[in-house]
Amino acid sequence: MIEGYIVKYSGYLWIVKGCEHFDDYLIAYPRYDITNQLKIKSTSEALSIARNLGVIKYNECLKLEVPMLRKSEIEYVLDPFNRELWPRLPREVELIIEDLSSSELREVGLTGSYLVSVFLKNIKPRDVDLVIKDVNVGLKVYNKLREMRERGITKPLEKPGEFEGTDLETRIALLKSRVLEGVIGDVIYSIRILSCRESVKPICVESFEYFSGELVIVEGVSSFVMPYTYIAESKIGKVLVRSLRMRFSEIPVGSRLIVSNCRLERHADHKIRISLDECTVKLLLE
């Protein structure tokens, strides 16, 4: 299982995060309270629930505490690529994927509240969240979205509901250049293009420290395919900058970021990476 899969465990529906998982465990975050049929809106609340359930574990490979579910204890799986589960999508969203062939459409999954609404009737579908597990199909959709933005068919999301990890100005500014997340008609959409078709084992972290300072994005290595990866200039020279969070996708080259308490990780593949996932990021606005 990879990003976009939703699993039932201990009274909650959990969103599987990313492509990197372990043989017996999935990294996942609780997103929906089944009993109360409510969405868990913040990462801090999700981590609190996971900690109370005893599934926050220190992982020696990642050198990080993360919520990990034992695969054998998962009660149910919502497969985003099982189109028989899908409710009817808004016509506006169908426009985004209407040029795909039947084989290409099989690479597109539906996740988030639209998929969950099949399972929890009191969850009202709002945003349409798609995942694409084939990079070539993803590129085709990305180019279509870029064309639709240039023609004014889609527009940036102007009033985000939250701005965790950034400030509101940064969140709004980064949304302006992002076509994978936006509004079409009255529908908010987000589309994650994955670098994996199946889960892979993580490359272990050998050591880490915390980094604060300025990062200037000089190259988008994988700016619209998750994990979102860039090369940045910094006070320690050129470094890889990486994130699993969509809010850090499509960062324009030349952007200047002020980051605080980001993990600077030295990996077993001898690469040094700065992760934006658990720190504070501020965009320096012109």
Q: What angle do CA 87, 163, 113 make, to 5 degrees?
A: 10
163 pLDDT tier (thresholds 50, 70, 90): confident
Q: What is the pLDDT of residue 162?
A: 79
94-103, 123-132, 157-166: which is most confident = 94-103
Q: What is the pLDDT of residue 160?
A: 85
User: Would you report the helix, strand and coil content of the chain in percent, each value rounded to 5?
Assistant: 20, 40, 40
Radius of gyration, alpha carbons of the chain: 19
**H or E element at residue 155:** strand 154-155
The model carries a pTM of 0.94
If we measure between CA atoms, which residue out of 263, 244, 149, 145 comes closest to residue 194? 244
Amino acid at 115: L
Per-residue pLDDT tens for 187-203? 999 999 999 999 999 99
Judged by DSSP in three states, 147 sits in helix
Return d(Cα 196, Cα 158) in angstroms, integer: 30
Residue type, 89: L
In the predicted model, what is the mean pLDDT of residues 96-107? 97
Question: Which amino acid is it at 265?
Answer: E
CB of 265 within 8 A of CB of 227? no
My answer on whether omega of the bond before 125 falls inside 30° of 0, hence cis, is: no
- The string of pLDDT tens digits covering residues 44-58 is 999 999 999 999 999
Q: What is the pLDDT of residue 125?
A: 84
The pLDDT tens digits for 216-256 are 999 999 999 999 999 999 999 999 999 999 999 999 999 99
Please report the domains of the chain, with CATH numbers, ordered by start residue: 6-78 (no CATH), 83-194 (no CATH), 205-283 (2.40.50.140)
